[in-house]
Structures are given as structure tokens and as C-alpha cells.
Amino acid sequence: MNPTFPPIGERSSLIDDYIAGRELELTRASNGESERPRVMRDLYRVFDNREMTLAEVTWHQHRLHEWRRWSAVDMIDAIDVARLSHTDRVYLWNAGRAELTTKPGADRLSRLSDKECRLWQEQDPALAAVMQACGTWSRYWNEEEAYHETSFNRLAALVGMPQVDDETFIEFRKIFPDDDMLRTLTLLAVSEIVAATNYAGCARGASHPALKALFQQVSADEIQHMQYFASFARALIDSGKYHAKDALAVAFLFVREGGELYGSRRENVEDRGTHVNWWDTLDDGGEVDRPQTIEKQRGMIFTLVRQLTDIEVTSVDQLEEAWMDQVGC
Ligand SMILES: [Fe+2]
Ligand SMILES: [Fe+2]
């Protein structure tokens, strides 16, 4: 496969587009087909009104997945590893480790979705279908994340960075514990926002055009994942069985002063008991700029809040107020 990606300049506005609430263009610009598959919205209504079956929704998911495929082998081959800078190497090493924890996240989602599907089957068949659609999509998510993990770890090895030893690999594969499904989906959507902005930052800082293109591609994948998580989370709230306050609580946990978004400015990697977030710190000897952009992340999280709850917030204080209002409901 020969990937033909649009120039970086045309691809770098996904984050700003999302904050501004514009329709996201996540497809390959070279594909001339008129009907572009997009992340489906309004899923609860679609199932509740019996507008589509699970098999039809699955085909839609599959089309979008296939439409957006790219070759890790070709993208790595296009990079002259001898020319990569110290910053490039640090970003690759950290990104490869960060991506190792995605597979257990996807494995957990797959299991949790099926469990929830069976719990709701009698009481709310449309909600059960949403859960099953989520579990089915998790296989595409898992596969797409495999491209990120393997590309970054392969490149880190090619530039001579220390290899991930088997003990670390197995440690990072620990399955995450189960939580409430709406909290889980909101947390995953926010994690994708953090990843997307981190990789956009890596792309800006990368010295080699083909490496910039790889970081841009991965960032666009993460935004697509965020859109899926947002769609499933919204469907849960639309069902009336899950409460918006739980989504607001997770969003607030990240954006509050000193919250999760500030991870990479902390002194040490934070041990959360079940998994390690390598973006909490960069192992760089203090020489490399952090790729994070907190304001962009906050802006995207405020958009996410609107997408999930129809509640408009533009500041941390407003988000806290909205959350407290919902808790009082
Ligand atoms: Fe990823
Ligand atoms: Fe992702």
C-alpha cells in the first residue's frame, strides 16, 4: 500500500476544528469517493427507532476503519532514522511506552461492553445494542492502536533507544479495573484528547518531515477514537439510564487546577496502581520541551462536554458549576 496523505499544513487544524465545533474531516484527501464514512452520532435514537440493525452499524464502522487505513511499514520506511534529532528520539521512546497501555484498555472495553449489553437486554434493548456496537467497534480501536504502539517502538529501536524489556511489556499489559460505563467512555474520550494534542505537539517539534507526517497521522487517529467514545457516551446519556453528572465529574477531574491535564508537569511518573501514564513525565534529562498544550486540551474537553450533555461551558469554574448543578438534580 502506498499511503498518499495530504500535506501537513492541511491536516493540522483538526484540533482547532473540534474546539470550534466544526465537522471533522478525518478521511484521506486522496480518496475521491463522494460518500465519506463518518463516526455515527445519535446512536440511541437509531437503535430505539429501529432505523439500523447492529449488522448495518457494524458495516458502517468497518467502512470508516478501512477507509482510514495506513501502512506503518511504509511510513517507517520513509523516515531517515540517521537524521532524527534528540527531541525526535525522546518523543518516540515515550510515545511507544504510552501506547503499550492501550491494548489492555481496549480489551477491558470489549469485555465490559458485552457484560453491560446483557444487563440491559430485557430492560432497554436499544441501550443493549449501543453497548454491543461499542464492544464491536473496540476491535477496530484495538487494531488501530496497534499501529501506534508498533510504529513508535520500532522507530525507537531503530534510533538506538533502550528496548522495552519483557517484564515492562507484561507490566504495561495489565487489564484496567472495571468502572461505570459512562465514566469509562468519558475518561477514554479525554485520554484520546490528551494523546491527540500530545502527538500534534510532537509533530510540531519533529525535525524530519516523514516523522511529522507519522505523528500527524496518529493524532488524527486519536481524534477519530475520541469521536467514537463521545458518540457512545452520548448514547448512554440519551438512554436516560446514565446521568450526565458522571461525565461532568470526569471532565472536571482533568481540567481543574492541578488536575490530570497537568500530569506532564509533575516531577515523577505517577503510579496509579494498575497502569502507568508515561506522559506524566518525559524521560529526557530535562532537555526536551513538553508536547502538551493545556489550553487546547481544555478547549477540546469543553467541546466534548457540550457534545455529551448540551451544556455550554467555557471555563473550569463554569464546568464545576454545571457539575454541581447536576449533582443537585
Ligand atoms: Fe494511540
Ligand atoms: Fe487512540
Domains of the chain, start order = 42-327 (1.10.620)
Least Cα distance to 248 among 189, 309, 178 occurs for 309
CB 148 within 8 Å of CB 102? yes
Report which of 208, 251, 213 is spatially closest to residue 229, judged by C-alpha positions. 251
This prediction's pTM: 0.87
Instruction: Determine the distance separating the centroid of ligand 1 and the alpha carbon of 189, expressed in angstroms.
Output: 12
Ligand 1 centroid–CA 34 distance in Å is 28
User: 198 CA to middle of ligand 2, Å?
Assistant: 12
pLDDT of residue 21: 78
Q: What is the pLDDT of residue 283?
A: 59
pLDDT of residue 176: 79
- Closest listed ligand to the CA of 193: 2
| Ligand 2 centroid from CA 225, angstroms | 5
C-alpha cell at 160: 538506538
Ligand nearest to the CA of 97: 1
Q: Does residue 177 come out as left (phi exceeding 0), alpha (psi in the -120 to 50 range) or beta?
A: beta
Q: What is the pLDDT of residue 327?
A: 85
Cell digits for 50?
A: 429501529
Q: Per-residue b/e over 297-319, b at no fewer than 16 CB within 10 Å?
A: bbbbbbbbbebbbebebeebeeb
CA of 160 relative to ligand 1 center, distance in Å: 22
Per-residue pLDDT reduced to its tens digit, 144-163: 999 999 999 999 999 999 88
Spell out which residues have Cβ within 5 A of ligand 1, the ion: 145, 148
Ligand number with the minimum distance to the CA of 96: 1
Q: How far is the CA of 311 from the centre of ligand 1 (A)?
A: 28
Mean pLDDT for each consecutive 10-residue tract of the chain (329 residues)? Answer: 40 74 59 69 96 96 93 96 93 93 94 97 98 98 97 96 92 87 96 93 92 96 96 98 96 85 50 44 60 83 96 95 86
Q: What is the pLDDT of residues 200-228, one digit of tens each?
A: 999 999 999 999 999 999 999 999 999 99
Distance 238 CA to ligand 1 centre (A): 28
Nearest to 124 by CA among 202, 199, 181: 181
State the pLDDT at residue 4. Answer: 39
- In angstroms, what is the span from residue 102 Cα to ligand 1's centroid? 7
pLDDT at site 22? 76
Ligand 1 centroid vs 133 CA: distance in angstroms? 21
Ligand nearest to the CA of 100: 1
Q: Mean pLDDT over all residues of the chain?
A: 86
pLDDT of residue 146: 97
CA end-to-end span of the chain, whole Å? 54
Ligand with an atom nearest the CA of residue 227: 2
pLDDT at 178: 85
Cα(145) to centroid of ligand 2, in Å? 6
Residue 287 Cα, ligand 2 centroid: separation in angstroms?
27
Specify whether the CB–CB gap between 85 and 207 falls below 8 A.
yes
